Amino acid sequence: MEDMVQVIVNTEVKQKDPTEAVTIAISARALFDMEEEHELFLMEGVEKYIDHQISNEDTPMKEGIILPFIRAVQMVNKRLLERNPEEKQLFEVILLSTHSAEGGVRIINSVNHYGLEISKFCFLHGNDPSKYLHSHEVKLFLSACESSVCNAQKKGIPAALMMQQHCLTANEQLKVAFDGDSVLFSDETDLVYREKGLDGVIQHEKDLENVPMGEGPFKIFAMILGEMKKKFSQEDDPICTYLVTARSGNDLGIRAIKTLREWGLKIDEAFFMAGAPKGPILSYIQPHIFFDDNAINISGARAVGTPAALVPTYCE
């Protein structure tokens, strides 16, 4: 079951300009912990699932992995509107549901229970949610369904797979952490590594030190966050961004830094881990979400309570 509902996070009663809105698409199984409901759907079928949802309409579902991220996104919207009541570049969050609306009341009630400013719900009755992403100009798609994430990637939408876990997240800012290669940057260096090994990568990076790397799938979202950050002073910035990469600083860090400089993308803090585990630094940062393409790094993040978003590189 991948229960996904179209949801738009509004700030106050202000309508966001669809041409400037930063649209994030999410699934209900990412927003709420619906693993028990999902198991019921798999084991006993859709009718039992719907009956369960209807009989529990007034029982809120448990908080899911990305709910704190959505709260932080709403906080940024509020801060942007406090700064400029006419602000157009605001977040929208769209949650698409492959189930019918019959069992959707519990999702709506749960959204209201958590105080999320949501006004639009769309139930797709088995249709692939990825086909609706371009029509909403989605800039980020977070789902608990692997096939939905892969289908979104094939359509050029930055997408990541979310799995439920216990999370520790900071609250004072929206904190977003990115891996480098195959996430912020293209997979160019990873491909060289597979073909020529570490020595080949070091020489490759040295030869192309002044040539910017290609764009990774999450460059667009990182750039949007960078644009939002420019609207605030450093002391009053509600957004904090991080680069947490396996690259070493001395051999592979210079090209990464020069690429960010060429893009005009300022990252608040950058960590060149030289292949060391990322979990310890993530446990200190406590981001609302961490994007990485390596399953080992995802496991390490999950182990320290970091909401980990797997960016799959295996989608064909």
Q: Which CATH number belongs to the domain containing residue 193 in this structure?
A: 3.40.50.1000
Q: How many structural domains comprise the chain?
A: 2
Q: Are residues 181 and 158 in the same domain?
A: no
Q: Are residues 156 and 119 in the same domain?
A: yes
Residue 170 has a pLDDT of 67
Active-site residue, 3 included:
no
Is there a domain that residue 121 lies in? yes
Q: Are residues 115 and 238 in the same domain?
A: no
Listed residues 110, 136, 162: the one ending a domain: 162
- Cα separation, 288 vs 173, in Å, equals 9
Residue 12 has a pLDDT of 41
pTM (predicted TM-score): 0.90
Angle at 178 between CA 172 and CA 180, to 5 degrees: 155
Q: Are residues 154 and 198 in the same domain?
A: no
Below-70 pLDDT ranges, the chain: 1-19, 120, 170, 316
Residue 11 has a pLDDT of 38
The catalytic position among 3, 17, 179, 268 is 179
Q: Are residues 76 and 148 in the same domain?
A: yes
Listed residues 162, 193, 228: the one ending a domain: 162
- Cα separation, 308 vs 302, in Å, equals 6
Residue 19 has a pLDDT of 55
Q: Which CATH number belongs to the domain containing residue 87 in this structure?
A: 3.40.50
Is there a domain that residue 251 lies in? yes
Pick from 259, 253, 128: which is nearest to 186 by CA? 259
Residue 270 has a pLDDT of 96
Neighbours of 240 (CB within 10 A): 20
Pick from 200, 193, 175: which is nearest to 267 by CA? 175
Residue 17 has a pLDDT of 52
Range of the structural domain that residue 277 is part of: 174-310
Note whether 278 and 300 are within 8 A (CB). Answer: yes
Is there a domain that residue 272 lies in? yes
Note whether 286 and 236 are within 8 A (CB). Answer: no
R_g of the chain, CA atoms, integer Å: 20
Between the CA atoms of 126, 131, 133 and 135, what dihedral angle is there, to the nearest 10 degrees? -120
Residue 295 has a pLDDT of 94
Strands 138-143, 22-26: pairing kind: parallel
Is there a domain that residue 1 lies in? no
Listed residues 115, 141, 162: the one ending a domain: 162
Residue 167 has a pLDDT of 81
